[in-house]
Amino acid sequence: MLRYLFKRLLTLIPLLFGITLISFMVIHLAPGEPTDIQTQMNPQAGTELQERLRIQYGLDQPLHVQYGKWLSQLVQLDFGESFATDRRPVFDKVVERLPVTMLLNVLSILLILAVSIPLGIASAVRRNSGFDRVTTMLVFAGFAMPSFWLALLLMDWFGVRLGLLPISGLKSLGYEYLSWSGQLFDRLAHLVLPVFVSALGGVAGFSRYMRSNMLEVVRQDYILTARAKGLSEKTVIYKHALRNALLPVITILGLSVPGLIGGSVIFETIFAIPGMGKLFYDGVMMRDYPLIMGILVMGAVLTLLGNLLADISYAIADPRIRHGQQEG
Amino acid sequence: MRSIFIGAVFLLFSLSACDNLQEAGLPGVEKVLTPEYGDTFIEASIGDASILLPVLASDSASSDINGLLYNGLVRYDKNLVPEGELAESWEISADNLTITFHLRKGVKWHDGAPFTSADVKFNYELYVDPKTPTAYAESFKQVTRVETPDPYTFVAHYEKPYAPALISWGMSVHPKHLLAGQEVTKSSLARKPIGTGPYKLADWQAGEKIVLEANPDYFEGQPYIKRVVYRIIPDISTQFLELQTGSLDFMGLAPLQFDRQTDTPAFRRLYNKFRYLNFGYTYLGYNLNRPLFQDKKVRQALAYAINKEELIEGVLLGYGAVATGPYKPDTWVHNADVPRYDYSPEKARELLQSAGWTDSDGDGVLDKDGRKFAFTIVTNQGNDLRSKTGEIIQRRFKDVGVEVKLRVIEWATFLKEFINPGNFDATILGWTGGPEPDQFNIWHSSKIGPRQLNFIGFKNAEVDQLLEEGRRVFPPQQRKAYYDRFQEILAEEQPYTFLYIPEALPAVSKRFRRVEPAPAGIRYNFTQWFVPAAEQKYSR
């Protein structure tokens, strides 16, 4: 097992290298340069500023030199400095935004799991019942609903009309003066709408997935055997069927690891949440190459690790895979 | 989608706006109250500030905040006449080549260090230092030499008279004792600014909010409002929802919000609305290097074919004015007697015909020598007003037999692939200006090079001369002669079809008193605004 792990980790290195090379080339292929955006259409700027900035950013050098420089910084875990006018280290900019994004994503994944697993099982067990039909309909409605539209409606309803929840942001204005419990409550109140809206699409997809998994498993012979043994329906479903139906969930969870640091621009913009989505989007719009590359690399590392993690947990959870490997 | 740099930004100073028509009751009409200290002013910004060092900042969020943290030597007063800020007074020599500033005494930086002429000299050197990547060096490059005969006198010498010189010293002054001998791009002041301004930075939570606190030692007296909070809310709809709950005190409204969504009793109880013309206009610019647009008659015909009133009605819901040239109608430099091109498809067709464009094959599109009159208008993505304008123009051009395609392109690509290589037929863009009428960089034929502002390739010897002379003369009455003629030529030549000037539509919470609209807008006397103690909302 350890050898397998080591081998897998080693193969990640060339993979990561390839990813950075391709990303670097692709973002430089996009037309436009950060220096254009910063200096153009400004009568006070003058054209020599453009050249000066290109030299300061190292954009005057050939692409392979730029890549080499960037890569040699990266292996020392230095993500470089942003091309934005503030020129702050990319790492600082990312770290500043990461906790909020991760908190939101973790909460939203937990909500998705908490809601969609029972929902999926229930619809599978009562397949084609009235309950199944209604949830199917609601789930598809949730899936189809544009999240920005729903967000605005909820903000208007709960924030403006009812005045129950804050509309946007992460904290109220007087947050610093609140008691410990007041602060916690304030934070939670700000999270209700964003978590709900961001989880909605996930619930829709995931409960469908859960339902079909469950249906698949219930058809298997061993479930028939369990029923034939005279086990109660409860035991059959929750002990025998559910465990097997949950296996593919591991893969999904593994794949959602890189999603933890990603955010949605639309969603963050509407709720005024300073998250990764907006950071990345603004970076792309400004052609802030070091920032874009930094976020891409972090995302790539997490994707690769997430996949690895999913494979390993799969092996631990599923004896078929574990044994198959030892034989092979 | 946002954009702090929506389209063409031309940030001279963060001073803006002019000529106020107030919508709701004047706050000043009620009985005069003695100003009281306290309360918080909360406004929303669509983007976070990027850097609080004015020399490096180029986004509007940073400029707004820097305006409260720093001072210049001079500024525009409420009537847009230059007045002293850090300078108490100044003299301009008889030959217009030397400006002597007498600085205020007793001014302190936020950290307590005294402000002297050494700071001003250092500041000048900082702006013109080739290592400083600043977007504001051009006007200081006209200076040949500076002197500091004593700690409170600063002298700037020019080689040629330069009319925008005085107001160019309104650029923010940076502290020498904290910046000298350092690389300005690495300075910690970028996030912990030290200025001389009425407010100090109290807290900055990236992407969330920026809090400023009144400077008790401000040289014009402590501002009445104790705190200013900028909440970063990138979405205008969200800002508007926050405004409706009363959690914002100020917001620039969109025409739709101003017109249709703020006419409720609840809103009127909380806010005063104001409207006044912005400094800035939207135009349709023709690439004069394209054979299609080289005939003046064609450009004039296209101007006749556009119904500008319809654009203002359709795009701005009526909150704007027709533009006839680069200056807005309520400024001293504006020339009202230039040729106007009131909507007339008949005249457009006549002019096109006299230029040789007829519909010989009867397909509804004009042609000449076997070539169809068809072209593409490009504009940047993220500015809804411009793409709507383009659609309406497209329809009107079709009426006169001109086939137009509209392309909306992301800003960076737009610059790199279309504007810089001159690879476009016509473009809808806008300029934002200020009270200073100098338009040298936009219209002079020396500015047609790559990445320069005369990207439509306008070359006119008389305009060149007028622009050169206009910036060498100081008294406004004398300058006006040059700029009047300049506006006449532009109107005659129609290198741009000037379309409209949008209005600023701010809403301000009624708690705040002394909000007095003036040609300079409403924010010029912000340090004088106050909230009567009984109405103060935020005690801490």
Indicate the residue of B51, B233, B242 with minimum beta-carbon distance to A86.
Answer: B51
Question: Which B residues 374-413 touch A at CB under 8 Å?
Answer: 410-413
A-B interface: how many C-beta pairs under 8 angstroms?
166
ipTM above 0.85 for this complex: no
DSSP A128: T
Q: How confident is the model over A72-96, as pLDDT tens digits?
A: 988 888 888 888 888 889 999 988 8
Question: Which B residues 40-59 touch A at CB under 8 Å?
Answer: 40, 42, 47-48, 50-51, 56-59
Query: Is residue B291 within 8 angstroms of chain A, CB to CB?
Result: no
Q: According to the model, what pLDDT value does residue A43 have?
A: 64
Q: In which band, very low, low, confident or very high, does the pLDDT at B490 lie, cut at 50, 70 and 90?
A: very high
User: CB A41 to CB B453 under 8 A?
Assistant: yes
Task: Please state the rounded mean pLDDT for residues B523-532.
Answer: 93
Task: Please state the rounded mean pLDDT for residues B286-313.
Answer: 94
Q: How confident is the model over A239-267, as pLDDT tens digits?
A: 888 888 888 777 777 777 777 777 778 88
Indicate the residue of A47, A84, A274 with minimum beta-carbon distance to B451.
Answer: A47
Residue of B nearest to A93 (CA): B206
Q: Which of B411, B419, B540 is the best residue to mutate to test the A interface, defined by the most A CB atoms within 10 Å of its own CB?
A: B411
Rounded Cα distance, B530 and B37, in Å: 7
Q: How confident is the model over A17-40, as pLDDT tens digits?
A: 999 999 999 888 888 788 877 777
B52 CB neighbours in chain A (<8 A) are none
A52 CB neighbours in chain B (<8 A) are 130-131, 133
Task: Please state the rounded mean pLDDT for residues B241-263.
Answer: 92
| Cα A155 from chain centroid (whole Å) | 23
How far A79 CA sits from the closest chain B CA (Å)?
17
> Please, what is the end-to-end C-alpha distance for chain B in angstroms?
35
Q: In which band, very low, low, confident or very high, does the pLDDT at B16 lie, cut at 50, 70 and 90?
A: very low
Residue of A nearest to B45 (CA): A272
DSSP string of A189-226?
A: HHHHHHHHHHHHHHHHHHHHHHHHHHHHHHTSHHHHHH
What long-range pairs does B181-188 form, CB within 8 A, spacing at least 24? B183/B131, B184/B53, B184/B55, B184/B56, B184/B126, B184/B129, B184/B131, B184/B132, B185/A56, B185/A87, B185/B56, B185/B132, B185/B133, B186/A87, B187/B53
The mean pLDDT value of chain A amounts to 85
The mean pLDDT value of chain B amounts to 89
Q: According to the model, what pLDDT value does residue B33 have?
A: 74
Q: According to the model, what pLDDT value does residue B438 have?
A: 92
User: CB A152 to CB B241 under 8 A?
Assistant: yes
At residue B310, what is the residue type? E
Instruction: List, in sequence order, every beta strand (DSSP E) within B151-263.
Output: 153-158, 199-205, 209-214, 227-232, 250-252
Residue of A nearest to B454 (CA): A41
Query: Is residue B245 within 8 angstroms of chain A, CB to CB?
Result: yes
Task: Please state the rounded mean pLDDT for residues A192-206.
Answer: 87
Q: Which of A27, A36, A41 is the best residue to mutate to test the B interface, defined by the most B CB atoms within 10 Å of its own CB?
A: A41
Query: Is residue B213 within 8 angstroms of chain A, CB to CB?
Result: no
How far A247 CA sits from the closest chain B CA (Å)?
39
Provide the whole-model pTM. Answer: 0.84
A36 CB neighbours in chain B (<8 A) are 412, 415-416, 420, 451
CB A140 within 8 A of CB A204: yes
How far A157 CA sits from the closest chain B CA (Å)?
10
Task: Please state the rounded mean pLDDT for residues A187-204.
Answer: 88
Q: In which band, very low, low, confident or very high, does the pLDDT at B5 lie, cut at 50, 70 and 90?
A: very low
Kindly give, in sequence order, each residue whose CB lies less than 8 Å from that of residue B253, ignoring residues fewer than 6 positions away. B240, B262, B273, B505, B506, B507
